[in-house]
Structure 1
Amino acid sequence: MRLPTLRRTRSAEPGTITGTARLDRRTKRLVGRLRPGDVAVIDHVDLDRVAADSLVAVGVTAVLNAKPSISGRYPNLGPEVLVKAGIPLVDDLGESVFQALREGETVRIDGNTLFVNGEPIAHGTRQDTDTVAKAMADAREGLSVQLEAFAANTMEYLKQERDLLLDGVGVPDVETTIAGRHCLIVVRGYEYKDDLDVLRPYIREFKPVLIGVDGGADALVEAGYTPDMIIGDMDSVTDDVLRCGAEVIVHAYPDGRAPGLARVHQLGLSALTFPAAATSEDVAMLLADEKGATLIVAVGTHNNLIEFLDKGRGGMASTFLTRLKVGGKVVDAKGVSRLYRQSISGSSLLLLVLSALSAMASAVAVSTVGKAYLGVLSEWWNNLVFQLGQLFS
């Protein structure tokens, strides 16, 4: 008999954690189902920072990975994020963990061992600050190999998508008016929430075309905006956001296959497809550039070599070339929240209010109409005081 599912509890025994298991081989898809206190069971070799940040934001009590979170190919940033946040990470549990566990089942983690119904079902490697630091140091030694692979992938992509990069061949005709306007492209990447918050005055003044890349569309809605366009393979955007009225562009494989299109049609929505070997964020930038955007403001996108490698995909080579293609128009908002944060102290706000009230009082006191109103108000107050005095005398 299986135990009933429970919310997160911590045993009095050090290192022992109990919680409800949620499983998915796609980490970004799993995040949408997780709740605070859940145990996330993933299948994510070389866990990247974006995925780790999303797990921390949800408030999981532990992360169980069927694969090594650091394989040694390159120094990926995700495991460090988890251990710094105090979230236990058990690695390399093996493929069998997905067969042995069921969604919503209560699990117990004791050291590096996973228990269900009191029975051990898998053993892994419990990561901590020291083990992650050592694995990262070892991975940096092999970084030159990854740089060579990245360069080779870049050349391969250039050959494959030459016509798209140089002449815009394959970019679909969209209904949204982009020519002559700014475009704000939002990806659920590093510091996207803080940067979106800082960009509020810019969005209010310039009213850019709001383009959400997959889960970036949800990020726009969460910030209080309605996307004009949603671009991506539709694996992390929610149904409600897809129905918000935005124009939908499904990122397809170069051969035209678009798995995400079926989901859009099931929701009763129409969509265009954009076949390309590039990533979805690159597709969004290429579309904005080809349709005549005067400026592209990027939030949460990848813009340096460390981030390209951290993503751990050969396709990130397309981002490098896309940046070369549209670089003159792109402004990266990443990190702007750390450079500048608009704030008004409480004392400054109080002083502003008092100054405004003082100015209003002075204006009323010197004007003829103001004097008449003050006389009426004074007479009303005197009558009120007199009546109260009569009442209690």
Structure 2
Amino acid sequence: MLDPRRTTGITRDSMTENIIQSMAHHIAVIDQTGKILIVNSAWSDYTRFNGGDPDETGVGNNYFDVSDKETVRQINMVLNGTADRIVIEYPCHAPREKRWFAMNVTPLRDAGQRKIIGAVITHMDVTDRKLLELRQQKDLDMAKSIQKRVVIDPVEEEHIKIKGFYLASDQLSGDLYAWYKLNAHQYGVILLDIMGHGVTAGMMSMAIRSILEGIITDEIEPEKVYRKLNDQFHKLFKSGKGYKNFFCTGIYMLLDINDRIISYVNAGHPGGVGVSGKESFILKSNNPPIGLSKEPVVISNKIQISEHTKVILYTDGFTDSMGLRITEGEQFILQEMRSNDQIHDHFEQIVSNLDIKDDIAVVSVSFD
């Protein structure tokens, strides 16, 4: 088909034709107008076996006549030199099975490699990869659904309100939060940010989430909670290959609504921002991230609060998505807290309008 003249020896053109015909991918060559100049056996066989008309997609026909406008537009980008290559994935299901293909279009140049005289169109069967992606997506959707179901209910009592929300930059979030009523007047509140994002961070956060309640309700005090969580982090993630450098940052607060004291540890995390009456405070980092050291020195702090206290804990995805540095983020949050009483709804609205660059989690606490 490449050269209708037949010779007894192997010529360059006949060798090229033999190579094209032997390829398993479906191949066609078109000229600048879309006219089909060459097709290989795989191209013709697929059309015939799947109920198509070879007369419409064979040599001499125009490929643009059987293509949609967008496909024609993109092929013309290759033909006019504005694109070196295009790849379009599309479904092309057979009567008895589902199939997906990737169309790869590259320019065909003249002998001097200067002028584009046409294009080579290759259709590759990507069904196995597509089916795998669909199965993985189904698994991810299930994991995402489970992660949403285990989100803890807000606390809305007479003297204290605790709420949280998160948005994942990928299918699963590596951020997590939880709070537990420890007794009639104390609550434990924690926010953690697993290194990275996506599936790995999401699965790690689920593993940690399953042990948080036991740790916080048993240990209660900030230093003890940090140490226990650090121990468990090493047991869960430091024994296998590839986990040596995994860690998480976070803040744990012990809230005493009778004595009006916030005791906390900050493990390498952005400082929580608080407003108490006319005063403000930052729960600054005073400990290494959880999981970095097997026997860390742990320091906790206490803050005496007054009436009408509000606290915002957040992961760095919030300030990163806003393009703010740490101190800029603290000042922005403080300003917003001072001008809005409904801090939870207000910050959820702010986050919903962001172009998210990383997982974001926000926890709000209000004391009356």
TM-score (norm 1): 0.20
Structure having the higher strand fraction is 2
Structure having the higher helix fraction is 1
Larger-gyration structure (1/2): 2
